[in-house]
Amino acid sequence: MNDARPAIRVSGLAKRFGDKTVVKDFAIEVPRGMIFGFLGPNGSGKTTTIRMLCGLLTPDAGAGECLGFDIRTQAAEIKRRVGYMTQRFGLYEDLTVRENLEFIGRMYGVRPLAPRTEAIIKRFGFERRQSQLAGALSGGWKQRLALAACVMHEPELLLLDEPTAGVDPNARREFWEMIHDLAGEGVTVLVSTHYMDEAERCHRIAYLAWGKLLLEGSVGDVVEGSGLTTWMVSGDDIGDLQAQLRERPGVEMVAAFGTALHVTGTDAAQLEAAIAPFRDDPRYAWEESAPSLEDVFIHTLAQAGADPR
């Protein structure tokens, strides 16, 4: 845990399935104890990339290390040190909470098992649910159990594949508090997500599309480096206004957010000229705003063009 080397350092990673290139020339470095978010549209290669980074899938090209081990030749050593949580609940629904944790502990050779199981039950708040069948748990508690099972063997690295899909907001918040607690103890976390608020909880993020890395950095760096200017407008008849703005030169994107529009472009002066005819209309209230992470992602995807694969 105190190793100063990055948890992950890879370059030139590529993966093909048949005639389809899923990941192309991917390179990244992830410090230990970091929560690193992977974002991108469905089919962008997020899960494939994460599995290669962790030695769970052999790349067709490229090289690197994970936890100090070669991702090609020492995958077995990496797997022993990784906790993997899939999108779908992967534990036994006809076993109790305790039985599931004990089973995972035995699989990883955890010794002594009993005190470790007790510690995990207490840490994740399962004292009153330990005898409950896993299949009878709510969605949020199932995800909590899946995370608890992932850390039974005290992994150095967690791989979480869209871990909170379908979970209510309160359970999502509690789940992320647990993730941050683990990162604070030195555990490195790779997490894929579609939620913008979850992306903002990560220390760094990577945005992938069509198997290529388009953006990487902290949320602040990604937003600041986008070069976007955004105006927010609210008021009546914004649907009609949205259609008009889309035709104006300098307006690269118009997106609705509730009763407001985000009007975005890369040329600040041209964007101001584009919205000027509408600024004095009493029906609308205008305010310059920092671009949102979603603004940046949508713009980046549009700039990248169509899927080249």
State which residues of the chain have pLDDT below 70: 1-3, 306-309
**Options 3.20.20.210, 3.30.70.330, 1.10.10.60, 3.40.50.180; CATH of 229-290:** 3.30.70.330
* DSSP-assigned letter for residue 111: S
Q: Are 58 and 74 in contact (CB under 8 A)?
A: no
The DSSP element (H or E) to which 13 belongs, if any, is: strand 8-17
Put simply, whether the predicted model's pTM sits higher than 0.85 gets the answer yes
Position 4 scores a pLDDT of 74
Q: Where in the chain are the domains?
A: 8-222, 229-290
The predicted-structure confidence for 201-246, as pLDDT tens digits, reads as follows 999 999 999 899 999 999 999 999 999 999 999 998 888 899 999 9
DSSP label of 134: G
Say if CB 10 and CB 62 are below 8 A apart: yes
Cα–Cα distance measured from residue 109 to residue 104, given in angstroms and rounded to the nearest whole number? 9
Does domain 8-222 match CATH 3.30.360.10?
Answer: no
User: Quick one: pLDDT at residue 309?
Assistant: 53
pLDDT of residue 224: 93
What is the model's pLDDT at position 307? 61
Residue 94 DSSP symbol: T
For 159-204, give the secondary structure using H, E and C: EEECCCCCCCHHHHHHHHHHHHHHHHCCCEEEEECCCHHHHCCCCE
The whole-angstrom separation of Cα 254 and Cα 250 is 11
